Structure 1
Amino acid sequence: MAGEHLSNQKKYRIEELVLNGKQERADRIVNSDVYSPIFQNQFYHPEAEPDLEGVNDDLSDILNDLFILEGEFVVLAESYKSLLEESILKIDTSKREAIAAREKIMDMNMICNEDNGFFQVRTLTNDDFIEKDVINNDNVITAWPNGFTTVDCKIIDIVGNGIEGNHYVFTNDEFIADKNFTGNRAAVTDDNITTIYEYQKINADQNEPYVFTDLSFDGTEAYCTITLEANEPITSIKILSPDNELVLREVQVSVDNDEYLTIMDEALKLNKRENIYLKSKYIYESGIIAFPLSTYIKISLSSDGYTGEKIAFLHEHLE
């Protein structure tokens, strides 16, 4: 505690003075307020003979005061740190409780009038299961896998109605692609959060006076199908995207890249967690798609929105 450190440091100084036969200075510290500094202002006449011992004692008092301040700052910093950690913990706990309460209400609304025992619904947590039997990720409970391994995949093909990369995005008088091109297919499977793959479609009105090769006038959203080949058969993939409007349209799998089996053809937005009450075959925000053991996977994606990025293109006028 802060006061305890201060009191102990003064006690050490008092004992030191008593041992050196300086009882008067020690008594002054004893009789002073506990929170007042040990050092007291001293006045020396410029023509007086210097009292070297007194000056040394004053410097020792100042040094002890500095030790006290250092200790007080350390104790206060630890207290402040503990307060912040406790506050963060309480905020996180309140957040989890609020989410759980919200989901419970949605559950009740969903089953009300269909199950007379709806009032018995309660939130399940790890405490309701044998330890290590389940994974509780933000109130989404799933079973632990018996084992898993990460398998490398490569892109076989990407086809769609748009273009790969950010060729036309223009900011601060320069093309973004010159510094950070987002059309590199290796970024799809490199498991690196610093690299991005982007597939885009540029739409314009029929009256647009400036046109270029990749400009489209049909008004449809961008879509593409990505074909992956795994180094060995796999049973799931994880799709990571910051885009809340990314739509998964279809997933097909194959063992020979010849005959494909459709295992998902119902459009869903991967990151729209509120849709959990509409479609139960996918854990929203997880990005995980499960399927039978397969070597080839086709993933069809589309957008459901647009961005307002500034674009530009170079026009060569030939005479």
Structure 2
Amino acid sequence: MITRTADRIPDQSGRTAVVTGANSGLGLVTATELARHGARVVLAVRDTSAGREAARRIGGDVEVRELDLASLDSVRAFAASLTADHPAIDLLVNNAGAVLLGPRRTTADGFELHLGTNMLGHFALTGLLLGNLAAARESRVVSLSSITHKNAHLDFADLMFERGYRAAPAYGRSKLATTIFGVELNRRLRAAGSPIVSTLAHPGLTRTNLTPRAWEHRGRLGQLIARFGLLVTQPVEQGALPQLRAATEPDVRGGQFFGPAGLWETRGRVTEARLGREAADPAVGARLWAAAEELTGVRYL
């Protein structure tokens, strides 16, 4: 088991992995470890110059491709290009995420930015790559959740948070939606008899480049908050272990959810985590799935 170190990751030779948001933070660590253990890794990034620098640091069999999850046109273009070159994909790590605590913003398609990037973009991407995943043996999808999902609630009458917008709850809703997506995907894969495995992970409280950026709009106060965060968060290398376990451990089952075992699941060794009540509700899963299909135009199972 991968509980304390990435050194015990099984050999990944012969596997092709796609990691979104792979140029920094959790995505960079995940891509680095997958490549270090033999996988061919596609860095799916919005900023290709940053992606090329990441690829240089990682080494191994790594390629960079442009993907902006805040644009369905970009998601479709990425999927089409990737399919042409990699018809079979063994692993899709839906890692990328937006964390912005300023005013409400929208994606290119008019979705609230957190929901549009963190969940709807990945929903569309996964659906468009489902054939690639089905073409590989023992393929997996890993969805990156957050402990914030447990205190969030989806308002289906206002999914885009147009009324009374607050950034922190919007982020929590997006991570709840992402978690529901990973769980519901597993239900549908099992019902269809698909061999693809859908798993989930969350990093607890982890130091990444997103934390200081999220507080930039608060000026000096934001800088102080970000510095305090350094005291209560764990290193990104530790925070990436749950998603690496979900991605690589041989006996992982569909629907399993991994996170830190420490206080309130914020840090520490990797263990199986607990889903929030709304995330585990099949009725909520079916309702969100239908909404996501309608919003993105992507239908799969």
TM-score, length basis structure 1? 0.22
Larger Rg: 1
Structure number with higher strand proportion: 1
Greater helix share, 1 or 2? 2
Q: TM-score under structure 2 normalisation?
A: 0.23
